[in-house]
Amino acid sequence: MPTPGILVILMPKWPLTGGRRGSIQLGEEGPLALLYHNTDFHASDQWMKIYKLRDIRSFVSEGLPSLSGLDRMLVEDGGEVRCYEQIQVFEPTSNPGYPKPKVQANNGQHRPRGMVMVTMEPGESAEDEIDEWYRKQHLDMLSMCRGYRRSTRYKLAPEEYQFSENFQKSPQDQARYLALHEYSSAFDLPEDQIKIVSGTEWSRKVIGNAKIFKRDIWELTEIIGDPAEVML
C-alpha cells in the first residue's frame, strides 16, 4: 500500500545560477512542488520547497534523479532535507457553513497563499496525547478561525527514507512531528483567534510539555507541476 508524504527542503537563501534563480522545473512527470518564502526575514530558513509524494518509498528508492538538478545540488551540499509520512488530512468541508475550496486554475490562484508550519517533539510518553489533541480539539477549533483552509499532519519518516547525510548530525534538534496549517493569506492571519485556540488548558499542556515547539509563517510564491493537485 502506498505511503503518501512530503519531501521538505529548507534553505537559508535561494541559490543563484549565473545571476538568475536556477531552473526548478520538474517536467510533466514530476511530483507537485510548492515554493514558499518565510515571512520572518530574520529566520534562519528563508526558503522552503515541498514535494508532494504519492508514495515516499518508491520516490526515495529512485534516489536523487527524482529531484530537479537544483534540488540535487542542495541535497548533495548538505541542505536541510527531510522526508515525512502523512498521518492526517483535515479539511472542514463537512461543515455546511464552510465554503468548499475551489480547485485552482492553471496559475494556482485559488490555492491558499499562507501556511503556518508547526514542528514539535513531544515530551515523554506524550505522542498519543498529541494525536488525540489534534483530532479531538485543536484542528476543530482552528477551522473556526478566519481564513483557515486545511491542515495536514506528518511524522518524520524512518532513516532509510531520508536523503540527506546530515540527517543524524543533530538528532537532539530534530522534531519528528510536522503540521501544515493553510490559510488564505500569510499576511492577514487571525492571530487573535489563533491565540485563543492555543490558549486552552489542553493546548497549554501539550505545547508546554513539548521538548521542541517551533512555529513559522510562510507565503506561497510558486507552484510547480500539476496545478490540479490541491492537497498537501
Task: Give me 163's grid cell.
Answer: 536523503
| Residue 121 located in a structural domain | yes
> pLDDT, tens digit, for every residue of 151-177?
999 999 988 778 655 555 455 567 999
pLDDT of residue 81: 84
> pLDDT, tens digit, for every residue of 132-148?
999 999 999 999 999 99
Task: Give me 123's grid cell.
Answer: 515530551
Once rounded to an integer, what is the mean pLDDT over residues 87-93?
88
| Residue 230 located in a structural domain | no
| Residue 137 located in a structural domain | yes
Between 211 and 63, the more confident residue is 211
pLDDT of residue 73: 65
CB 5 within 8 A of CB 152: no
SS (H, E, C) the chain: CCCCEEEEEEECCCCEECCEECCCCCCCCCCCEEEEEECCCCCCCCEEEEEEECCHHHHHHCCHHHCCHHHHHHHHCCCEEEEEEEEEEECCCCCCCCCCCCCCCCCCCCCCCEEEEEEEECCCCCHHHHHHHHHHHHHHHHCCCCCEEEEEEEEECCHHHCCCHHHHCCHHHCCCEEEEEEECCCCCCCHHHHHHHCCCHHHHHHHHHCCEEEEEEEEEEEEECCCCCCCC
Domain that holds residue 24: 5-224
Q: How many percent of the chain have pLDDT more than 70? A: 69
pLDDT of residue 161: 77
CA distances from 160 to 102, 104, 125 (A): 37, 35, 25
| Residue 231 located in a structural domain | no
pLDDT score of 28 more than 60: no
**Which CATH number is 43's domain given?**
3.30.70.100
| Residue 64 located in a structural domain | yes
pLDDT tier at 22, thresholds 50, 70, 90: very low
pLDDT of residue 2: 87
**37-46, 167-176, 187-196: which has the highest mean pLDDT?**
187-196
Task: Give me 187's grid cell.
Answer: 499576511
Once rounded to an integer, what is the mean pLDDT over residues 54-69?
71
| Residue 48 located in a structural domain | yes
**46-50, 58-62, 143-147, 224-228: which has the highest mean pLDDT?**
143-147
β-strand 80-90 against 16-17: which pairing, if any? unpaired
pLDDT of residue 101: 45
pLDDT tier at 223, thresholds 50, 70, 90: confident
| Residue 232 located in a structural domain | no
Domain count, the chain: 1
| Residue 17 located in a structural domain | yes
pLDDT score of 118 more than 80: yes
Rounded to the nearest integer, the mean pLDDT of the chain is 79
pLDDT of residue 96: 44
